Amino acid sequence: MKKLTLFALLLLLAGAAGEVWSCTTFIMSGKHTPDGRPLLYKNRDTGTLDNALVFFTDGKYPYIGLVDSKASWKEEVWGGFNSAGFAIMNSAAYNNNEGDTTKLADREGVVMKMALATCSTLADFEQMLTDMLKPLGVDANFGVIDAEGGAAYYETGNFGFKKIDANDPALAPYGLIIRTNHSFTGTVGEGGGYIRYAAASDVFNMALAQNRLDPQYLLNSLSRNLTHGLTGVNLRAEMPADGNSQAFVNFDDFIPRTSTAAAIMVVGAAEGEDPSQAMMWTLMGFPLATVAVPVWITGDKNLPYILSMKEDLHSPLCDAAMTLKRELFPIKRGSGGKYMNVALLLNGEKTGFLQRLAPVEEEIFARTAALTSSMPERKGQRSEAITEFYRWVDSYIVQSYNDLFGLQME
């Protein structure tokens, strides 16, 4: 057997730690994107797989946030953006609090909710972190963008933070910063997510080389990435012949994971532009079984029905994606839950879940492009146009899941 290289061995050992809730994230400065709009992305891994979007009005700024579908949903937000064009998300870091015996922990969602409610700029967020009572109860990489051209990570522990600025060419020559589950200013070699960091870096090496930095390409290339960052296994290159095959593979340490509950990508307002131009793409539910849906902050406070909470706190699209996910991972006993039947996802007959959903998502992106190119300037008319779009996207997705999979969204 070939010996592992030192780099691969380090990836393997480091990747074994801190992989319970294992988000993959990036930010990109608008100074380096084709349209001048900053990007903020989070592939969310969590123990609460049912998620929804909520339009909040409980702060200085209205905001849209990704929340857990549980009774405490009003207390925490796991990524989102507000009417000032400020956006935030996080990844757990696991290496900012070495030697700290503080018991307070897991307050990242509380911090992000507070930031969305009160902050309009990176400076506001820095001041908020400085003023908050310590310990903060966090070990995180907070990614933040604003409507003034700001884009940075804040590698944050219980008693302080370090800013990693995407506009600093010495730190981010392409305006890009990726973070998984370790902070670069934390304890070296600790934390996790090293394998997924390598996979995300490969995606961006190709995206930058081809100047393909549009949200559609990046969402697909990251949230539906099926190339393993350590072994190089590419599930797209090893497609089963048909959907009736039994082709199980171990699905550990890919960017999408069995613990992935959603993904978001905020497309911020360009510097000097009206902050209301900011919007967010959401992959609600397991990314390999859902479609991207755009949302904006409007005066009528609407959201698509399929992303919003029902009476049981679940979102209809998340429930549909979870139903398909259970088919992809049918083995429940022992460690069988780690194994996915790839034949149901991708196959030579093009009947896999991803293959059937691709044209649906393509149409959503096309309709969104048409909407944004003709968006009315008056806010009232703008809200009406977006509400009408939501009616269309709700109907289109509900009908598509019914036609393709026989699933009813209620």
Closest to 27 measured CA to CA, from 187, 265, 293, 262: 265
Which helix (H) or strand (E) segment holds residue 232: the answer is: none
- Give pLDDT, residue 14: 40
Beta-carbon contacts of residue 338 (< 8 Å; ≥ 6 apart): 250, 251, 252, 258
CA distance 316 to 242: 29
From start to end of 297-373, where are the E strands? 339-341
Query: If you write DSSP's letter for every residue of 278-297 in order, what string do you get?
Result: -EEEEEES-GGG--EEEEE-
As a whole number of angstroms, the distance between CA 174 and CA 182 comes to: 21
Question: Contact at 8 Å (CB) between 355 and 243?
Answer: no
> Which residues lie closer than 8 Å to 120 by C-beta, 6 or more apart?
61, 82, 84, 85, 86, 146, 147
What is residue 19's predicted lDDT score, i.e. its pLDDT? 44
pLDDT at 21: 62
Residues 6+ apart with CB under 8 A from 147: 84, 85, 86, 120, 268, 269, 271, 273, 275, 278
Q: Would you write out the chain's pLDDT as a tens digit for each of its 410 residues?
A: 334 443 444 444 443 333 456 899 999 999 999 999 999 999 999 999 999 999 999 999 999 999 999 999 999 999 999 999 999 999 999 999 999 999 999 999 999 999 999 999 999 999 999 999 999 999 999 999 999 999 999 999 999 999 999 999 999 999 999 999 999 999 999 999 999 999 999 999 999 999 999 999 999 999 999 999 999 999 999 899 999 999 999 999 999 999 999 999 999 999 999 999 999 999 999 999 999 999 999 999 999 999 999 999 999 999 999 999 999 999 999 999 999 999 999 999 999 999 999 999 999 999 999 999 999 888 889 999 999 999 999 999 999 999 999 999 98
d(CA 271, CA 275) in angstroms, rounded, equals 9
Per-residue model confidence (pLDDT) at position 379: 85
Closest CA to 112 of 172, 40, 212, 171: 40
Burial of 53 (0-12, 13-18, 19+ CB in 10 A): buried
Sorted by sequence, the CB contacts under 8 Å of residue 374 that are 6+ apart come out as none
> Per the omega criterion (within 30 degrees of 0), is the bond before 240 cis?
no
Quick one: pLDDT at residue 365? 98
Let me know: does 123 contact 64? Beta carbons within 8 Å: no
Angle at the Cα of 30 (from 28 to 32), degrees rounded to 5?
75
Q: Give the long-range contacts of residues 350-355, CB within 8 A, separation 24 or more.
A: 351/242, 351/243, 352/243, 353/288, 353/289, 353/324, 353/328, 353/405, 354/224, 354/288
User: What is the per-residue DSSP string for 165-229?
Assistant: ETT-TTT-TTSEEEESBS-TTSSTT-SB-HHHHHHHHHHHHHHHHHT---HHHHHHHHHT--B-T
Separation of alpha carbons 240 and 243, rounded Å: 7
pLDDT at 410: 80
Is the pTM here over 0.75, yes or no? yes
Q: Structural domains in the chain?
A: 6-405 (3.60.60.10)
> Residue 276 has which token pair?
């209301």
The pLDDT of residue 377:
85
What is the reported pLDDT for 20? 53
Place of tokens 């034949």: 343
